[in-house]
């Protein structure tokens, strides 16, 4: 969704193409001096609601924020979502150990 909002992937010709483009931009910004921010999101039960995140991405682009900074902020937001989900899952089964697997966690 964010890659499309940023105009990075109007057409995708291979798996993860849009995600790779977004990650590349985030990596370029990661070495910058500015403190990266994250975008707003919330949980409702087991669902993650990203409508505020989407709006904030569009607001940042309209304000002239660079594609790299938007991509980095989005990646920080996703990391926050993953941590919050993992913490909630661990708490629900009374453990401190959580394993994350799959393609996106291998990157």
Does residue 18 contact residue 3 with C-beta atoms inside 8 Å? yes
Tell me, what DSSP letter sits at residue 68?
H
The one-digit pLDDT tens for each residue of the chain (107 residues) are 899 899 888 888 888 899 899 999 999 988 765 666 899 999 998 899 999 999 999 999 999 999 999 999 999 999 999 999 999 999 999 999 989 888 777 65
d(CA 25, CA 48): 24
Q: Which of 65, 69, 38, 51 is nearest to 1 (CA)?
A: 51
Question: Which residue is it, tokens 């919050």?
Answer: 84
- The confidence score (pLDDT) of residue 34 equals 67
């Amino acid at each position: 969704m964010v890659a499309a909002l940023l105009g990075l992937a109007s057409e995708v010709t291979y798996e993860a193409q849009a995600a790779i483009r977004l990650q590349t931009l985030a990596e370029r910004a990661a070495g910058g001096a500015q403190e990266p921010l994250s975008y707003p999101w919330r949980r409702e039960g087991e669902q993650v609601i990203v409508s505020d995140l989407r709006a904030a991405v569009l607001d940042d682009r309209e304000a002239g924020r660079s594609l790299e900074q938007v991509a980095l902020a989005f990646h920080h937001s996703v990391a926050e979502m993953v941590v919050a989900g993992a913490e909630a899952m661990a708490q629900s089964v009374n453990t401190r150990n959580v394993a994350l697997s799959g393609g996106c966690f291998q990157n």
